[in-house]
Amino acid sequence: MQQKLKSLLKLIWWLLVLTFVSLFLYKNLHATLDIVSKLPLSVMSVAFLAILVAKVLLVLVMHLALLRYQIDLGYLRCFTIYNITQLGKYIPGSIWQYVGRITLYKEADISNAKIRDTLLLETFWVVFSALLIGICLILLTQHSLIMQMLGQLPEYLTQPLSLAMVAALLLLLVVWFRKTVQHYAKQFMFSAKTSLVVIALWLCLGFSFWITLLPYTSQDISIIYIIGLYALSYALGFAVPFAPAGIGIREAILVMGLIPYLDSNTSVVLATINRLLYIVSEIILVIFSSFLSKRNNNFNARYKSNESKT
């Protein structure tokens, strides 16, 4: 019953997002076409290429998660498994990419326990790195705004005694659950290679959005801020259970983050274009990965046939 309710909520969310986009285009068609016409094809191409590179890096995160548990499927096989299953996340339910992945992992004779652990590790690496990088870069570039917001908090919340009590409570919780903390810290710890991969991942995705903003604003938009904003929007979009692939949530956060720089119409159009480029890249990679998988299966079949003859 609960699962059906979740699926229904996700379907309703899909319909709401599609309705919003349709109404927006209907009411702002001429403005939207004018915005799109100002976006050079070269900029679109570079943004698309950056997304493709990011998708390659996401596969590498998957590969490293498998290697953490001594499972080596090879990068090429990971590439086909990852990309073939990606469009499943847009189906209401948001679990179908995992269902497809689990099925293909089982075909590779990976145990249920290791399938669970690798999926958890991979998801943690991607989402936690997005959240951490997003918060850090936004704090770094928007520190004056953050300080202004903190100055509006009730005075008793910013007193040294209040801050010390919060710190002491957090320390007490860590000590109390130290075994659990130590277990998960060891299990989910980033290696040096994984850290470099996720940093490159968010650089590529943030850059893919930042470069499309440049033709529309006369003031400089910090690429560091946009990388942080994009990473944070990805993490928060993932955290919303009724939004498949964070659709709608990610775009809303990007639009809100661009309020100081661009008008809302331009922000909505550019956030939508980024999502469309992301989806198109996934469709292309699905087709390419399906071709690679079929070719590999045909090669294995011919190899086995030749072996049986000899």
pLDDT tens per residue across all 310 residues of the chain: 555 555 666 666 556 766 766 776 667 667 777 777 888 999 999 999 999 999 999 999 999 999 998 999 889 899 999 988 887 777 665 567 778 888 888 888 899 889 988 998 998 999 999 999 999 998 888 766 555 545 555 655 555 655 566 677 666 666 665 665 455 556 678 888 999 999 999 999 999 999 999 998 867 888 999 999 999 999 988 877 666 767 788 888 999 899 888 888 889 889 999 999 999 999 999 888 888 877 665 534 443 444 444 4
- DSSP H helical segments within the chain, as ranges? 2-27, 29-37, 41-68, 75-85, 96-107, 112-141, 143-151, 160-176, 178-188, 192-213, 223-239, 249-257, 264-309
Domain region containing 90: 2-309
Structure tokens at 14: 């899909």
Helix 41-68 to helix 192-213 angle (10° resolution) is 160
CB contact set of 64 (below 8 Å; sequence gap of 6+): 125, 191, 193, 194, 197
- pTM, 2 dp: 0.79
Domains identified in the chain, total number: 1
Amino acid identity of 2? Q
Task: Please report, for residues 246, 297, 305, the alpha-carbon distance to residue 310 in angstroms, rounded to integers and kept in the order given.
Answer: 53, 20, 9
Amino acid identity of 151? G
- The rounded distance, in Å, linking the Cα atoms of 139 and 134 is 8
Note whether 209 and 226 are within 8 A (CB).
yes
